[in-house]
Amino acid sequence: MLLLHLADVDEAGWAKRLQAALGSYPVVRRGDGFDPADIRYILVWKPAPDAFEGLSNLELILSMGAGVDALLKHPALPPVPMVRFVDEDLTQRMSDYVVAQVTMHHRLQSRFQADQKARRWVQLYPPAAAETVVGIMGLGVLGQDAAERLVPLGFTVRAWSRTPKAIPGVEGFVGEEQLDAFLGGTDILVNLLPLTPQTTGILNTDTFRKLRRRLDGGPVIVNAARGGHQREADIAAALQDGTLGAASLDVFEIEPLPVDSPLWDIANCYITPHIAAISHPDTGARYFSQVIADHRAGKPLHNVVDRGRGY
Amino acid sequence: MLLLHLADVDEAGWAKRLQAALGSYPVVRRGDGFDPADIRYILVWKPAPDAFEGLSNLELILSMGAGVDALLKHPALPPVPMVRFVDEDLTQRMSDYVVAQVTMHHRLQSRFQADQKARRWVQLYPPAAAETVVGIMGLGVLGQDAAERLVPLGFTVRAWSRTPKAIPGVEGFVGEEQLDAFLGGTDILVNLLPLTPQTTGILNTDTFRKLRRRLDGGPVIVNAARGGHQREADIAAALQDGTLGAASLDVFEIEPLPVDSPLWDIANCYITPHIAAISHPDTGARYFSQVIADHRAGKPLHNVVDRGRGY
């Protein structure tokens, strides 16, 4: 039996699609009458503290999100394997966001917007794409896809990851000891890291000061990963004193972003309300029904979370 | 002998590079001492009314611009062949601009900017790229390159041209009789047409009303071709009454855009000062020295202007 425990999303829609995909295999929701001992699988999003209570025969936890940083902090997480959602549609949407932000900043949108406001006609020519270095932090599925879309557009792309990964046309930097070299040649920094104790707060003043200052207005950051990666006080200060030329932020330390945040009013801060990418129930039902079928058939699982590594 | 007649650009820089590329073949500028009867080639940008006076042995006119609409209106244009500049670097930069504008509007920048200004957190999800139809008007070198960059990003791309042209993954529409069908399925309209009597003023209210209204906020136009293609009064009205959701304009009926233009103050109008793409002297020197070498060797010429067609 599969139990759904999905807060803040259309749980009924997910239930309907999963039941259709799983055929006769039973799907239940919180509040339905069922014996907790019958639950073999649980699909979760923002699980409550008692979400796993009584699930004595649980075999697998399914995470609706690709990021499991919040889930790993759950106070009563059962010691069974966890599979996270890796969703082609979500990957496409995330890359849509990243490409839109990178190309917008490459074309100096903040500068032209300021000129427009002042009714100023100044023919500043943006650099060629090849002259602009995009540095991607994190080379999971999302980082790799973003890199593979930016390279054909002509950008010079480099990436920083925990372990070496070879992507054609992308210069790789690995581990703590190569971080400064990576940052020192980056004009537009894109964060797609998992949130772990090691990466918490990585978008801070010290990091911003290490970026290359070749783009008109200053270097740019794009954060589409987690609010926990960023120090918002540092970002606000860096945007105002010119350490950064612009920032695109889809995630925040507290969400929704509090109305008294100074970020709202900063013209070169591009705020979106955590909408870069979303897990869609249609692809989700296909994905998780396949995971359950594979698990029941004793086949190897993909995208299993490594609790030590944190993702 | 090659004469340079380049207004408003770094003529000395072009002269230096062309002389280096042409070796012993003489290059002169306006004001240099030379016999007009010795001039075989003239490279022009914004030629004065008397630019061609006395050039009795002129064999070829070289246009520094890719667009020759202004040049064709010159009151004393000699009846010799004209070759226009088709520049890979310029093509790349034009596609940089087009991709940046298309992706920015696909990701609903106007909407999120308005929400930010109001400190509003509303989780609106942009459509998938595949659900968004980009319609390109004009399939010359620039239109083709833009299409070939947008297709791998996942957009549904269609194009409208005077004559049929096959581009993989792009639905083609041809001629006046297919224009309405083309517009009726387009969310983001990109103009890369040559400016001719037939295309003058094509970006007008009637055209805007025929676009598909599926994108949040309304359809979008991007004009990177010529100011003569657009009716700015129609654009201002369409942006204000919701016929259009946004417009990115790099060119204007009068340039520089007059300070009293209403466009400056419209938040969903994205103005850049005719900087989408520029001809670079380095690539220009390579290109035009090759044209001259080919012509002197009796080889066939490429990118020759068809005066009847207008480009």
pLDDT at position A168: 95
Contacts of A187 (CB under 8 A, 6+ apart): A132, A133, A134, A135, A211, A212, A214, A215, A219, A220
What residues form DSSP beta bridges with B191?
A: B137, B223
Cβ–Cβ contact A128 with B under 8 A: yes
Q: Distance, in angstroms, between B90 CA and closest chain A CA?
A: 9
- Burial of residue B23 (CB within 10 Å: 0-12, 13-18, 19+) is exposed
Q: Which of B97, B154, B264 sits opposite A92 (nearest CB)?
A: B154
- Burial of residue B6 (CB within 10 Å: 0-12, 13-18, 19+) is buried
Torsion A59-A62-A67-A73 (CA) sign = negative
Average pLDDT over residues A170-197: 97
Alpha carbon A156 to its chain's center: 22
| Cβ pair B119:A259 closer than 8 A | yes
pLDDT at position B284: 93
The H-assigned helical ranges of B75-121 are: 88-106, 109-117
Q: Is residue A33 predicted with pLDDT exceeding 90? A: yes
* Chain B residues inside the 8 Å CB shell of A275: 123-126
Average pLDDT over residues B236-263: 98
pLDDT category at B271 given cuts 50, 70, 90 is: very high
Cα–Cα distance for residue pair A56/A48, rounded to 1 Å: 17
3-state secondary structure of B265: helix
Q: Is residue B252 predicted with pLDDT exceeding 90? A: yes
| Cβ pair A99:B96 closer than 8 A | no
| Cβ pair A92:B128 closer than 8 A | yes
CB-CB contact of A183 with A220 (8 Å): no
Average pLDDT over residues A99-103: 98
Torsion B251-B252-B257-B262 (CA) sign = negative
Cβ–Cβ contact A111 with B under 8 A: no
Average pLDDT over residues B188-203: 97
Structure tokens at A124: 């500043």
- Nearest CA-CA partner of A275 in B267, B127, B176: B127
Within this chain, domains B2-87+279-296 and B88-271 share the same CATH topology: yes
Structure tokens at A232: 């918002």
- Nearest CA-CA partner of A218 in A241, A202, A201: A241
pLDDT at position B29: 97
Cα–Cα distance for residue pair B311/B309, rounded to 1 Å: 6
pLDDT category at A252 given cuts 50, 70, 90 is: very high
Cβ–Cβ contact B1 with A under 8 A: no
pLDDT at position B88: 87
Strand blocks (E) in chain A: 2-6, 27-29, 41-45, 60-63, 82-84, 133-137, 156-161, 170-174, 188-191, 220-223, 246-249, 269-271
Q: Domain coordinates of chain A in residue numbers?
A: 2-87+279-296, 88-271
Cβ–Cβ contact A126 with B under 8 A: yes
Question: In A, residues 252-291, which contact B (CB 8 Å cutoff)?
Answer: 255-257, 259, 264, 270-275, 278
What residues form DSSP beta bridges with B41?
A: B2, B60
Cα–Cα distance for residue pair A83/A306, rounded to 1 Å: 10
Residues A228-244 have pLDDT tens digits of: 999 999 999 999 999 99
Structure tokens at B303: 């990118």
Helix axis angle, B88-106 to A88-106, nearest 10°: 120
What residues form DSSP beta bridges with B5?
A: B44
Q: Which of A112, A149, A273 sits opposite B271 (nearest CB)?
A: A112
Cα–Cα distance for residue pair A36/B92, rounded to 1 Å: 60
What residues form DSSP beta bridges with B203?
A: B230
Residues A41-66 have pLDDT tens digits of: 999 999 999 999 999 999 999 999 88
| Of the candidate ranges A9-13, A206-210, B51-55, the one whose mean pLDDT is the lowest | A9-13
Cβ–Cβ contact B214 with A under 8 A: no
Fill in the amino acid letter for B188. I
CATH architecture of A2-87+279-296: 3-Layer(aba) Sandwich (3.40)
Which of A8, A153, A268 is the best residue to mutate to test the B interface, defined by the most B CB atoms within 10 Å of its own CB?
Answer: A153
Q: Distance, in angstroms, between B175 CA and closest chain A CA?
A: 30
pLDDT at position A82: 97
Which of B98, B102, B104 is the best residue to mutate to test the A interface, defined by the most A CB atoms within 10 Å of its own CB?
Answer: B104
3-state secondary structure of B235: helix
Cα–Cα distance for residue pair B234/B188, rounded to 1 Å: 17
Q: Which of A106, A129, A152 sits opposite B152 (nearest CB)?
A: A152
Enter the ipTM.
Answer: 0.89
CA neighbours closer than 13 Å in the CB half-sphere of residue A216? 15
What region does A2 belong to: left with phi over 0, alpha with psi -120 to 50, or beta?
A: beta
Report domain B88-271's class: alpha beta
pLDDT at position A107: 98
Average pLDDT over residues B226-255: 98
Cβ–Cβ contact B152 with A under 8 A: yes
Structure tokens at B182: 């083309």
| Cβ pair A96:B89 closer than 8 A | no
Structure tokens at B167: 């581009």
Cα–Cα distance for residue pair B10/B6, rounded to 1 Å: 8
Q: Which of B100, B152, B275 sits opposite A125 (nearest CB)?
A: B275
3-state secondary structure of B48: coil
Residues B158-177 have pLDDT tens digits of: 999 999 999 999 999 999 99
3-state secondary structure of A22: helix
pLDDT category at A281 given cuts 50, 70, 90 is: confident
Distances (CA, A) of B192 to A205, B68, B94, B149, B234: 42, 14, 10, 14, 19
Contacts of B92 (CB under 8 A, 6+ apart): A128, A129, A154, B145
* Chain A residues inside the 8 Å CB shell of B107: 96-97, 100-101, 272
* Chain B residues inside the 8 Å CB shell of A153: 96, 99, 149
Q: Is residue B14 predicted with pLDDT exceeding 90? A: yes
Stated pTM of the model: 0.90
Residue entry with tokens 């060119």? B251
Q: Distance, in angstroms, between A234 CA and closest chain B CA?
A: 20
Radius of gyration of chain A (CA): 21
Residues A60-88 have pLDDT tens digits of: 999 998 889 999 999 999 999 999 999 88
CB-CB contact of A255 with A272 (8 Å): no
What region does B307 belong to: left with phi over 0, alpha with psi -120 to 50, or beta?
A: alpha
Structure tokens at A95: 């890359």
Structure tokens at B93: 């930069």
pLDDT at position A141: 93
Mean pLDDT of chain B: 96
Structure tokens at B72: 């064709």
Fill in the amino acid letter for A281. P
Distances (CA, A) of A248 to A193, A219, A236: 16, 12, 12
Radius of gyration of chain B (CA): 21
